[in-house]
Structure 1
Amino acid sequence: MADSLRSAPVSFSEFDAVTTAQWQERIARDLKGQDPASLTWTTPDGFVVQPFYHQEALQALGGWPSPLARPATHWRNVPTYSVPALERGHGAIRRAAEALERGAEGAHFVLGHSEGFDTDYLQQRMPLATTYVGYTVRGGVSGLLQRLAALPSPPRGFLVSDPVTRHAPDLAAQLDEVREAVRTARAWPAFKVLGLDVAFYGNRGATATQQLAFALSTAAAYLSELPTADLAVAEVAAALHLHVAVGPNYFFEIAKLRALRKLWATLLHAYGLPAEAAQQLTIFASTATWSQTTLDPHTNLLRTTTEAMSAVLGGADAVSVGTFDCLFHAPNEFAERLARNLPVLLREEAYLDRVQDPAAGSYYVETLTDQLAREGWALFQKIQAQGGLPAATGFVLQELHTSAQAQFRRIANGEQVVVGTNKFHNPNEKFDYNPKRLLRSRDFDSTRATYPAEVLRLATALHFERREKKKKRAALVLLGAHTNQTILESFLMTLPEADRTELHKSHPEGTLSVLFSSAEEATLMYATPEQFGRLARAISHVPIDEPNFIAPALLTADLATMQEATHIFGLKEFTVQGYSTEAVLARLQGKK
């Protein structure tokens, strides 16, 4: 009888070690003369990413790093529910209670007005003694905490109010309220009462480096301002909690969360606190609204999948996945079920809750973590040198504006791809919403990366739909002051040098970009906000003294009326004869 098979011992000692230089030599040979440096790329944060990383990268960081410590290996699946200001939250509470029976492990309520939120009904529908519940509020912190204190069970979860990030005008009074909240929560060891809204920056275009620096500066403001004779800095630090938005840049988002924990330990050490204090930091990560789109919206399901994975692998303690249609649909069971099941799948089928720090030891991720931490700390020190927050609020907002504008520009010229929006469009897309109503809605989120491109696409679709129905109407599309420079630069690239100079001269600072289109021609025009406001009132038949009028992004009228109105209101124009609206829009977006 043949001997049974025996496994050979596994050993790599017979293989020669390969150095970084040897890998680079092999890459150069495979590229057949192409410069290997062409494979590197520069991040929005400004540092260079190599095409490969080697074990020597860890040696440059000081050797093999230890896994990052956090309070627990288990992370929670915590959906988010919005409660409008005039509602008591019964509908959101019912949906949250039902979700607990279907895979959710908590709930996060974003309250438009905390005073109206019905905590008694919350207690009736949800087992608060064992349920992780977060609250994000814009005011009324003390009233909400009083009602929570009156409930039979102490709360578990977190509270985010963060007047420093929200630039509250009555900051001194609100800091007193936050200070009292920390005192109130002394009896609630499982409730973090001092949540920082780092997601505010992430959802408005901040880079990973900026998010780290802004989070540290905000935390430093509270650690410096809140302690008193009866409130120690250690108590303030223990109450801190972070709400972070996670975007689709997969590895960078993993590294961002890991860098945040490293920097947190450094920050608390500066305040004389031990390493154990930093290990108590909890992070609530939500998928970013900044990266959500209304065009080809099912791609949002793919984005939130990578974002949720980044959150888990980066070390978040709780994860909230947004619904794919939240930009244009009211809450619905189908979308909420998909969002709720995504973290369930990551845990139950991908087993992403079994390891403390899954990314530890990755040459690439460890290098990114170190780079982000260094850059984030440097920017934090720059903010502190200007007085820290809130004194340096102007500097922080300018940094945020610059970063967001850079992303708008990259999307407009196609350098940054957004699938389904500026590349790989769905040619047969049928909108599952009313584009005209969406464009005019006050709830249409204009802070997102793809908003300018969506306005162009949706307004153009409306215009072509009308033209196909043979209605002799013209469309006037407001492109918005915040995208003005991007659109102008993209358009100028397509024109002769002489025309560029002429157009620049006729384009004063602070004007709005406007596209006036008809079946025969398309005209790029510029107007002051006042000019466009008067024009919009005239076209919309709204009295000049109506105080609540908001100019829509798209104006329509018959061609003669529109031509006369634009002439009367003195809009400066640059006409492109012989081009369809679609062709001009393509030029504006730098595609031709």
Structure 2
Amino acid sequence: MSDHLFQEFEPVSSKQWKQQIQFELKGADYNETLVWESPEGIKVKPFYHTDESTVKYTVSTAATQFNIVQNIFVHDVAKSNKRAAEVLHRGAESIRFTLENESVSVADLMQNLPLTNTTYFFYLPFLSIDCVTKINDFATKNGANMVIQVDPVGQLVKDGNWFENLDNDFQKLNQIATKITLPFLNISSSTYQNAGANMVQQLAYTLAHVNEYFNRIKSLQQPITIEIAVGTHYFFEIAKLRALRLLFQTLAKEYNHNFDCHIIATPTKRNKTLYDYNVNMLRTTTECMSAILGGANSIANLPYDALYHKDNEFGDRIARNQLLVLKNESYFDKVNNPADGAYYIEAITEQLAEKALLLFKDIEANGGLITQLIEGTIQRKISESAAKEQELFDSGKEILLGTNKYPNKNDKMKHDLELFPFVKQNPRKTLIVPIIEKRLAEKMEQERLSQEA
């Protein structure tokens, strides 16, 4: 396209642009004034030019195919079935059921739901061969599109303990791998982001997380699902998802694993706020935009009131409608590989991937993710990164509107809390120190709540 547009203008090189910029700066230092560094150590230039583009990779994304996912926690099977039918009628394109226990009847849960053109995710916060087999048998018998989400390593990361222990958990996973055809492995990468890891850490820990399964499951012939949280740093988050797909494909090739990953993106909780909560809708909208442009296969939006309200029809409907507006009114689903040729995004993608690969190699050279979790290395690194970000927020350099800038002093929340919106303390004996998700605004919000009449 660039060969045919604006042919009447002489081309301008990056050197000429820089010379003009330096002239306009009137003696100010170019690097100090216009080049800034991200928390990942990436220096961002004021402009990117085709003659400096050295992209050595190809990332294929399909924005035209992203699905809108509705989360449903299954406590009452009949009610969950009814709700699934309703939300599919009202714009959801995929359902993710979180099963409370393994006794749930899959046939009853799926009664009268469309099976062939809708994907159903089953997130299991437990590890049961019988339950996984039951879901697989139902899908095989009925030709249903189903994905199981089981993640013992993610359980260790978030809870501090395995479901049973390392040997038993992986013994079950190896049995599952030989018994079923459905995808069953899930990488709960969102924990790292919600706990405060920077983007290079998120990518490297996710890759090391995947590698534990490649190393320990002998016959893994099913696709892998990666669940990732998306923050508000718009272009960097687009690049992060692209880098994740690139890194996964590179690693999978080493194990002759011939499937691409399925990325489920969800807006982060880390920057969401209790006060001026409607701003959360703006945050989740830009985060969903990054997810689409970055190549997420499925997106489960976070309701604006998820911090303090139980699941409710209004919050869920608004969350779905945000994605429906992006798809049907903003035309985000019309072009595949939308970030191709954006030199800025391509440059960040490459740098994130390279830095994450170096960190991944260091993790593997020192025993792998599980070993470093047991030693506490991963927890310490995330804690250091989170502390830096918290300091930026506390000092006002990182802004959350309505909370640490332009707060509404008349905003009262004390009597509107259906859920506890802060880190829950649960002292108990664990194998490792769990990685705890924590929002930036928690301390400030607790102080405001204590001062409410």
Whether these two folds match at TM > 0.5 is yes
Q: Deviations over 1:478-514 (max 9, x none)?
A: xxxxxxxxxxxxxxxxxxxxxxxxxxxxxxxxxxxxx
Verify: 1:421 aligned to 2:421, yes or no: no
Verify: 1:120 aligned to 2:107, yes or no: yes
For 2:71, the equivalent position in structure 1 comes to 80
For 2:91, the equivalent position in structure 1 comes to 103
Which amino acid is 1:135 matched to? F
State which structure, 1 or 2, has the greater radius of gyration over its C-alpha atoms: 1
Match of 1:40 among 29, 32, 35: 35
In structure 1, the gaps of 5 or more residues are: 1-8, 466-592
In structure 2, the gaps of 5 or more residues are: 427-435
Match of 1:404, SS?
Answer: helix
Match of 1:20 among 14, 17, 22: 14
Which amino acid is 2:442 matched to? Y
C-alpha distance in structure 1 between counterparts of 2:303 and 2:252, whole Å? 36
Verify: 1:179 aligned to 2:179, yes or no: no
For 1:224, the equivalent position in structure 2 comes to 215
Match of 1:166, SS?
Answer: helix
Which amino acid is 1:105 matched to? E
C-alpha distance in structure 2 between counterparts of 1:93 and 1:443, whole Å? 34
Q: Deviations over 1:421-452 (max 9, x none)?
A: 11121233233844698479959997222212
Change (3 A) 1:253 1:36: same
Match of 2:292, SS?
Answer: helix
Percent sequence identity is 32
Which amino acid is 1:223 matched to? F
Greater Cα offset, 213-222 or 41-50 = 41-50
Which amino acid is 2:47 matched to? F
C-alpha distance in structure 1 between counterparts of 2:338 and 2:187, whole Å? 26
Match of 1:307, SS?
Answer: helix
For 2:129, the equivalent position in structure 1 comes to 142
Which amino acid is 1:368 matched to? I
For 2:52, the equivalent position in structure 1 comes to 57
Q: Deviations over 1:26-63 (max 9, x none)?
A: 222323333222222211112211122111231x335x
Which amino acid is 1:110 matched to? T
Q: Deviations over 1:505-539 (max 9, x none)?
A: xxxxxxxxxxxxxxxxxxxxxxxxxxxxxxxxxxx
C-alpha distance in structure 2 between counterparts of 1:424 and 1:282, whole Å? 39
For 2:234, the equivalent position in structure 1 comes to 250
C-alpha distance in structure 2 between counterparts of 1:171 and 1:71, whole Å? 36
C-alpha distance in structure 1 between counterparts of 2:271 and 2:199, whole Å? 14
Q: Contact 2:186–2:225 at 8 Å: present in 1 too?
A: yes
How far the C-alpha of 1:10 sits from its partner, in A, is: 6.1
Verify: 1:194 aligned to 2:178, yes or no: no
Matches for 1:522-533 after TM superposition, within 5 Å: none
How far the C-alpha of 1:286 sits from its partner, in A, is: 1.2
C-alpha distance in structure 1 between counterparts of 2:445 and 2:143, whole Å? 45
Q: Deviations over 1:207-253 (max 9, x none)?
A: 111111011111111111111xxx2x5x1xx3312111111111111
For 1:266, the equivalent position in structure 2 comes to 250
C-alpha distance in structure 1 between counterparts of 2:144 and 2:50, whole Å? 46
Which amino acid is 1:419 matched to? L
RMSD (Å) for aligned C-alpha atoms: 2.6
Match of 1:164, SS?
Answer: helix
Verify: 1:156 aligned to 2:145, yes or no: yes
How far the C-alpha of 1:134 sits from its partner, in A, is: 1.2
Change (3 A) 1:149 1:265: closer
C-alpha distance in structure 1 between counterparts of 2:62 and 2:88, whole Å? 23
C-alpha distance in structure 1 between counterparts of 2:288 and 2:279, whole Å? 14
TM-score by length of 1: 0.68
TM-score by length of 2: 0.88
Change (3 A) 1:247 1:418: same
Change (3 A) 1:146 1:154: farther
Aligned length: 431
Q: Contact 2:78–2:108 at 8 Å: present in 1 too?
A: yes
Q: Contact 1:39–1:51 at 8 Å: present in 2 too?
A: yes
C-alpha distance in structure 2 between counterparts of 1:439 and 1:290, whole Å? 12
Which amino acid is 2:67 matched to? R
Match of 2:154 among 132, 144, 165: 165
C-alpha distance in structure 2 between counterparts of 1:133 and 1:139, whole Å? 18
For 2:412, the equivalent position in structure 1 comes to 430
Q: Contact 1:76–1:105 at 8 Å: present in 2 too?
A: yes
Q: Deviations over 1:172-219 (max 9, x none)?
A: 111122222222332xxxx42111111121221111111110111111
